[in-house]
Homo-oligomer: A and B are copies of this chain.
């Protein structure tokens, strides 16, 4: 394809994207295809000769689009929102046109410096402490792929920090330095004897990234209990008791995940309580997972509820995804650390072929030493475009719209005696279930599993389910209504809710008939 063919194909692609967004509301939110739909239609033999682009673009519309679930649909209320804006799409275009692997400053100085800049903006916009600014010389921010990658990165940094603490203790106790191996300054004996004693802490409500991080590192994850009366949030005393119990058994606390806005119900852990506990253990590191809710720190009126001051005081690292309801297309995970040496001391490897005079001089940041992988995409462009295109006020208006719509919905649901709101509504997230007089826990669960399954079978409704687990209320199966897509209006919420009510009425009626 030459430049003029690209111009033509590019205009056509822009037109198709425009058509898509113009017709979005006439589509069902969910794809109705069956497993294998695409594989059945496409040849497994790759083409020998190149094809003209219009045929390829036509196949995208004909074959791929039917298999797309429309996360940008105004009636998308499943999982969490994953918003993309036109500004973000344009950012990706510019970014892919100057494709480069960005591992060093010199790979393309603009990639590193624009990222430094927009992450400074994000510190301001979110109200994070100045220590999280790269310009502070102490902490800093980096754009990553996902909250799970960032949690793993934080855990690795925490593990190395904890082992360094243990190495110092060991050195002080024995008065001798022990030999190191490889590119790390941690004695092999300390690493070898202590790594298998390290424990990760979170709650039963911590996102599965907690368990996955533990799996990836081969270390145990302790899922601590929460109470429904605490709004499913983790308390400090529960954490402290678990740590003390583990220490008695010879274990070492090294990584605590505090969540601001859990995936199941939007619970906000008691960060100050947890932080005070973490501070008592020099090996322990507090990672704040605010993947979804953190973007709402952009709203001054939400900061107290979202415990921003506590995060600023106690968090060793903080992650929030601009690619959830922050208007930036996937992937754009914002990751901040209080002390960037925690990253570089764990992650820096510099072979000869990656050396540059600027890095040798210490005048630039090579972000590869702040992350797991070597290469990285030029993600700051889309974040820059979105923040400039919307301005802080535009972002705030979008967030407030979702919160207001959820608040309206909560008010409707709470007035309907068929339903029960099972956890405090939080930002754009509402967890509800059907009630039924005289039904026991198992019957209630069965009823709601059935309702969920009927809703899941509909292409025009997209909600997801969860199980809330607590010490005082047991296990509650419920349905999540997560608001936050860009084009969602009150009418969209009302229309979907009307369908939920309709299916619920049918279900309850069927139950009554069976009984009679």
Restricting to A303-357, which residues have a CB under 8 Å from any CB of B? Answer: 323, 329-331, 346-347, 349-355, 357
Restricting to A122-178, which residues have a CB under 8 Å from any CB of B? Answer: 122, 124-125, 135, 145-149, 152, 156, 159-160, 163
Q: List B contacts of A33 (CB < 8 A).
A: 109-110
Q: List B contacts of A506 (CB < 8 A).
A: none
Any B CB within 8 A of the CB of A9: yes
Q: Which are the 10 A-B pairs with shortest beta-carbon distances?
A: A67-B110, A10-B14, A84-B99, A38-B113, A46-B121, A99-B329, A6-B86, A50-B391, A67-B109, A192-B196
Q: Tell me if A392 and B47 are in contact (CB < 8 A).
A: yes
Q: List B contacts of A1 (CB < 8 A).
A: 85-87, 389
Measured in the bound complex, the distance between the Cα atoms of B418 and A351 in whole Å is: 27
Measured in the bound complex, the distance between the Cα atoms of B354 and A190 in whole Å is: 38
Any B CB within 8 A of the CB of A435: no
Across the interface, A195 reaches (CB within 8 A) one of B148, B196, B209, B477, namely B196
Q: Tell me if A35 and B108 are in contact (CB < 8 A).
A: no
Measured in the bound complex, the distance between the Cα atoms of B99 and A86 in whole Å is: 11
Q: Tell me if B44 and A135 are in contact (CB < 8 A).
A: yes
A17 touching B10 in the complex, CB below 8 Å, given contacts A64-B381, A96-B84, A353-B264: yes
Q: Tell me if A465 and B391 are in contact (CB < 8 A).
A: no
Q: Tell me if B124 and A99 are in contact (CB < 8 A).
A: no
Which residue in chain B gives the minimum CB-CB distance to A80? B101
Across the interface, A374 reaches (CB within 8 A) one of B37, B148, B387, B466, namely B148
Which of A216-224, A227-235, A236-244 lies at the interface with chain B? A216-224
Any B CB within 8 A of the CB of A509: no
Q: Tell me if A108 and B374 are in contact (CB < 8 A).
A: no
Main secondary structure of the interface of A (DSSP, over half): helix
A113 touching B392 in the complex, CB below 8 Å, given contacts A1-B85, A145-B375: no
Restricting to A1-59, which residues have a CB under 8 Å from any CB of B? Answer: 1, 3-7, 9-11, 13-18, 20-22, 31, 33, 35-39, 42, 44-51, 53, 56-57
Q: List B contacts of A65 (CB < 8 A).
A: 98, 110
Q: Tell me if B35 and A363 are in contact (CB < 8 A).
A: yes
Which of A180-188, A275-283, A399-407, A420-428 lies at the interface with chain B? A180-188
Which residue in chain B gives the minimum CB-CB distance to A189? B196
A87 touching B196 in the complex, CB below 8 Å, given contacts A109-B37, A117-B44, A392-B48: no
Across the interface, A385 reaches (CB within 8 A) one of B56, B209, B453, namely B56
Instruction: For the complex formed, measure the closest distance between the CB of A125 and the CB atoms of chain B, giving whole angstroms.
Output: 5
Any B CB within 8 A of the CB of A100: yes
Any B CB within 8 A of the CB of A203: no
Interface size class of A (residues with CB under 8 A): 35 or more
Across the interface, A215 reaches (CB within 8 A) one of B63, B211, B347, B387, namely B347
Q: Tell me if A465 and B353 are in contact (CB < 8 A).
A: yes
Which of A68-76, A266-274, A408-416, A497-505 lies at the interface with chain B? A68-76
Q: List B contacts of A352 (CB < 8 A).
A: 264, 465-467, 477
Any B CB within 8 A of the CB of A89: yes
Measured in the bound complex, the distance between the Cα atoms of B10 and A9 in whole Å is: 12
Restricting to A372-395, which residues have a CB under 8 Å from any CB of B? Answer: 372-375, 377, 381, 384-385, 387-394
Measured in the bound complex, the distance between the Cα atoms of B494 and A469 in whole Å is: 69
Q: Tell me if B13 and A90 are in contact (CB < 8 A).
A: yes
Q: Tell me if A215 and B146 are in contact (CB < 8 A).
A: no
Q: Tell me if A99 and B71 are in contact (CB < 8 A).
A: yes
Which residue in chain B gives the minimum CB-CB distance to A67? B110
A456 touching B357 in the complex, CB below 8 Å, given contacts A14-B10, A49-B391, A96-B89: yes
Measured in the bound complex, the distance between the Cα atoms of B392 and A50 in whole Å is: 8
User: Which of A20, A50, A208 has the most B CB atoms < 10 Å from its CB?
Assistant: A50
Q: List B contacts of A22 (CB < 8 A).
A: 3
Q: Tell me if A374 and B146 are in contact (CB < 8 A).
A: yes
Which residue in chain B gives the minimum CB-CB distance to A59? B388
User: Which of A4, A94, A160, A192 has the most B CB atoms < 10 Å from its CB?
Assistant: A94
Q: Tell me if A372 and B149 are in contact (CB < 8 A).
A: yes
User: Which of A5, A6, A264 has the most B CB atoms < 10 Å from its CB?
Assistant: A6
Which residue in chain B gives the minimum CB-CB distance to A46? B121
Q: Tell me if A393 and B48 are in contact (CB < 8 A).
A: yes
Measured in the bound complex, the distance between the Cα atoms of B352 and A93 in whole Å is: 36
Which residue in chain B gives the minimum CB-CB distance to A188? B220
Instruction: For the complex formed, measure the closest distance between the CB of A391 and the CB atoms of chain B, giving whole angstroms.
Output: 4
Which residue in chain B gives the minimum CB-CB distance to A456? B357
Any B CB within 8 A of the CB of A97: yes
Task: Kindly list 4 other residue pairs between chains A and B, CB separation below 8 angstroms, not including A71-B98, A182-B214, A331-B377.
Answer: A33-B109, A56-B389, A68-B100, A215-B347
